[in-house]
Amino acid sequence: MKRLLTLLIGGVALGLILRPATALAQSAAPPSNRFSVDVNFSGLRPAAGQQIYERDDTQFSEIARQIATYPAMPSRKAYGVDVTYALLQRLGVAVHVSAARFAYSARLGVQIPSPAFFNAFASDSDSSGTMRRRERSVDMSVTWTFIDGHPWRLKVSAGPTIFRLSQEMVQAIAYSQAFGVSTPTNVVDITGHDVTTTRASGVGGHVAVDFSYFFSPRMGVGVVARGNLGRVTIDEPLTGVAVRPAVGGLQIGTGLRIRF
């Protein structure tokens, strides 16, 4: 993921460096269409990887451990809307809004010591059932149009991104325990868990390349590659520790283009 974003950013930067100086002069001309709206339906490869959180408590002078493991978020569909305002013929500013939803199951685990015998641990594992995560992002861009004619348009954009994360997470794991007093028998069974929703915001960055074909002066279709990446700070509910999970990802999609 990071390598793909690096290549995308590097390609945009190289294009800007190699662009002839005549393009800068052309950008001073008044644009024929001030506004453009892009509506995209994309495949999203999320940046969020596997997360493992362990809570350690002291019981019977030994460590009792609760574990919640969240999988890497799967690739899925996403949607987004991009509104661009042309300041000059080639230079503009834009706002892109996108959102994605995920459903997953966390893996639960416990390791519990025996009250009667030292170093006689029992363990159990279970699934949380379906949990949900939602990511929203707002990309604020400076755009540069390399090609702006009829029927083709090639546009690149880059700038900061504001992320908003909402994710269901495990707050506590309940279990029952049976143990022997005369023999080192120790058995635990997970009986349930508590879930809470964590919410956080953060700032990252993005870069995008859009290539469009206009079948009329105002309407067209296009393909886009967009990468945004950032981190948000949340208070992880099982451990109570502040962590910074990754948000964003790589989107490749297609959609409608409108300019006026």
> Are the C-beta atoms of 143 and 91 separated by less than 8 Å?
yes
Question: What is the rounded average pLDDT of the residues 59-67?
Answer: 95
The pLDDT tens digits of the residues spanning 66-80 come to 999 999 999 988 889
CATH number of the domain at 223, please: 2.40.160.20
> Are the C-beta atoms of 138 and 96 separated by less than 8 Å?
yes
Task: Band the pLDDT of 203: cuts 50, 70, 90.
Answer: very high
Residue 150: predicted pLDDT: 78
Residue 149: predicted pLDDT: 74
The pLDDT tens digits of the residues spanning 6-21 come to 444 444 444 443 444 3
The pLDDT tens digits of the residues spanning 81-116 come to 999 999 998 999 999 999 999 999 999 999 999 999
Question: What is the rounded average pLDDT of the residues 230-251?
Answer: 96
pTM to 2 decimal places: 0.81
Sorted by sequence, the CB contacts under 8 Å of residue 88 that are 6+ apart come out as: 27, 28, 29, 30, 31
Residue 4: predicted pLDDT: 44
Percent of residues, the chain, with pLDDT higher than 70:
88
Structural domain of 221: 2-259
Count of domains forming the chain: 1
The pLDDT tens digits of the residues spanning 145-199 come to 998 877 999 999 999 999 999 999 999 999 999 999 989 999 999 999 999 999 9
Task: Band the pLDDT of 239: cuts 50, 70, 90.
Answer: very high
